C-alpha cells in the first residue's frame, strides 16, 4: 500500500539546516500494523506528516497504492487524504467549538456525505468507541482518554484504508492508553492498515512490525510474532 524510496526532508532556517529524513526507504503492506520508534528528534513526526500527505518530501519517491504522490499539489493531496487516511494525534486535536458528534461528523462533511447517512455512520463509530452517551458534550468536558476515543472515531468514520497515529497514548495514563490500543487493534483486525509512532515498547507490542529510526534513517525492522 505504501512504498517510499530514498525519501528526504530538510528543514532550513536562517542559521541551521536540519536533515529530518535522510534517504529513508521502507514498505508497508495492506492490513499491516506498523509501529515507528526512535529517540526524540529522529524524524518520526516528519515521516508521518509526509505519509499523511500533510507535507511534501524534498526528494525521493512516495507510492501510495502504486500512485506516485510525492509531487501532488495541495488540492490533490487534500482530496486523496480525506478519502483514504485517518489521523490520531497525541494532543487529540478536537475542535473546541464542536460537540463530540459534530467533531466525528466533520470528515463526512468534507467528503460530501448526505446528512442522514452521516448521522447513521457517526452513531455507528461513536457506539464502537463507546462514547455515544457523551455525543452532545464539548471536548473540554471529557477526560483525555474519552477525547482520544472521539479522535479515533473521527479518524475511522470515513472508513479510511490507512490510519496514522502520532503517539496516540502519549497524553494518556496506562489504562486509558490500553483502551485506545485495543481499539486500534480491533480496527486493524477489520482490515485497516495502521502506522503508529510511539515511545512506548508496551504499545509497540500491539503492532506486527517495528521500524526503528535514528537521525532520519531506519536502523532495524523487528518483526513481532
Partner 1 sequence: MFIHYLTIAWRNLLRHKANSVINITGLAIGIAACLLIFRVVRFELGHDTFHKNYKQLYRVVKHDAYPDGLVYEEGMPGPVTAAMRVDFPQISAISEVFSSYGSQITIPSGTQAPKKFTESSGVLFIDTSFFHMFTTKWLSGNASVLAQPGKVVLDKEHAERYFGQWQEATGKTITMDNQIPLMVAGVIENQPLSTDIPLSVLVSFSTLPPYGNRYNYTQRWQHSTSNHQIFVLLPSAVTPASINKQFTSFTRKYYDEEVAAKKTFFLQPLKDLHFDTRFGNMGDHTTSRTTLLTLALIGGFVVMMAAINFINLCTAQAATRAKEIGVRKVLGGRRQQIIFQVLSETAIVVSLALLLASGIAFVAKPSLSLLSSVPAAVALFSKDAFLFLLATGVAVTLLAGLYPAFILSGFAPVEALKNKIYQKGGARISLRRVLVVTQFAISQVLIIGTIIAVKQMNYIRQADLGFNKDAILLLDNITDSTSLPKVATLQQQLQQVSGVKAVSFCSDPPSSSNDWSSNFYFNHAAKDESFDIFLKIADTAYFNTYGLQLIAGRSFTASDTTREVVVNEMLCNKLGIREAKDILGKDIRLGGKWYPITGVVKDFKASSLREEVRPIALFSRKEFYGTIGVKLSGAGLSTSLAAIKEIWERTYPDYVYNPSFLDEKIANFYQQETQLAVLYKLFAGIAIFISCLGVYGLISFLAIQKTKEVGIRKTLGASAASIVVLFSREFTLLVVAAFVIATPIGWWLMSHWLQGFVYRIPMEITIFLLAIAISLLIAWITVSYKAIKASLANPVKSLQNN
Q: Which residues bind ligand ATP (CB under 6 A)?
A: 11, 13, 18, 20, 38, 40-46
Q: Which residue's entry shows cell 483514504?
A: 84
- Are the beta carbons of 124 and 49 closer than 8 angstroms? no
148 binds Mg ion (CB under 5 A): no
* Mask for 122-161, x = binds partner 1 (CB under 8 A): --------------------------------x-------
Our CB check for partner 1 shows the closer of 33 and 89 to be: 89
Binding partner selected for residue 26 from ligand ATP, Mg ion, partner 1, none, CB under the kind-specific 5 to 8 Å limit = none
Contacting residue, 45, 99, 169, 192, with Mg ion by CB under 5 A: 45
Single residue of 8, 55, 123, 215 touching partner 1 by CB under 8 A = 55
By CB under 8 A, residue 49 contacts partner 1 = yes
Residue with cell 510525492: 70
Joined together, the cell numbers standing for residue 155 give 479518524
Size of the site for partner 1 (CB under 8 A): 27
Please state the closest distance from residue 190 (CB atom) to Mg ion, in A.
Answer: 27
- Whose CA is closest to 123, among 201, 115, 167? 115
Q: Residue 63 interacts with partner 1 (CB under 8 A)? A: no
At CB < 8 A and 24+ separation, what contacts does 60-65 make? Answer: 60/4, 60/5, 60/6, 60/7, 60/8, 60/23, 60/24, 60/25, 61/3, 61/4, 61/5, 61/6, 61/7, 62/2, 62/3, 62/4, 62/7, 63/2, 63/3, 63/4, 64/1, 64/2, 65/1
Indicate the SS3 state at residue 24. Answer: strand
What are the residues binding Mg ion (CB under 5 A)? 45
Which residues contribute to the site for partner 1 (CB under 8 A)? 49, 52, 54-55, 74-75, 78-79, 81-83, 87, 89, 91, 93-98, 102, 106-107, 109-111, 154
Amino acid at each position: 500500500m505504501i512504498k517510499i524510496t530514498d525519501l528526504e526532508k530538510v528543514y532550513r532556517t536562517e542559521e541551521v539546516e536540519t536533515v529530518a529524513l535522510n534517504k529513508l526507504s521502507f514498505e508497508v503492506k495492506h492490513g499491516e500494523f506498523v509501529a515507528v520508534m526512535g529517540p526524540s528528534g529522529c524524524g518520526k513526526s516528519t515521516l508521518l506528516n509526509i505519509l499523511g500527505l500533510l507535507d511534501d518530501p524534498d526528494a525521493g519517491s512516495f507510492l501510495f497504492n502504486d500512485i506516485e504522490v510525492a509531487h501532488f499539489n495541495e488540492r490533490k493531496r487534500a482530496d486523496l487524504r480525506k478519502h483514504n487516511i485517518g489521523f490520531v494525534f497525541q494532543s487529540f486535536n478536537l475542535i473546541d467549538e464542536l460537540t463530540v458528534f459534530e467533531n466525528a461528523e466533520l470528515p463526512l462533511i468534507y467528503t460530501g456525505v448526505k446528512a442522514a447517512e452521516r448521522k447513521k455512520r457517526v452513531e455507528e463509530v461513536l457506539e464502537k468507541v463507546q462514547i455515544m452517551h457523551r455525543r452532545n458534550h464539548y471536548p473540554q468536558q471529557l477526560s483525555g482518554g474519552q477525547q482520544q476515543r472521539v479522535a479515533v472515531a473521527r479518524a475511522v468514520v470515513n472508513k479510511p484504508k490507512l490510519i496514522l497515529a502520532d503517539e496516540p497514548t502519549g497524553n494518556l495514563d496506562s489504562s486509558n492508553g490500553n483502551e485506545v490500543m485495543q481499539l486500534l487493534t480491533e480496527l486493524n483486525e477489520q482490515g485497516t492498515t495502521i502506522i503508529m509512532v510511539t515511545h512506548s515498547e508496551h504499545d509497540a507490542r500491539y503492532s506486527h512490525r517495528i521500524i526503528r529510526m535514528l537521525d532520519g534513517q531506519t536502523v532495524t525492522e523487528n518483526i513481532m510474532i
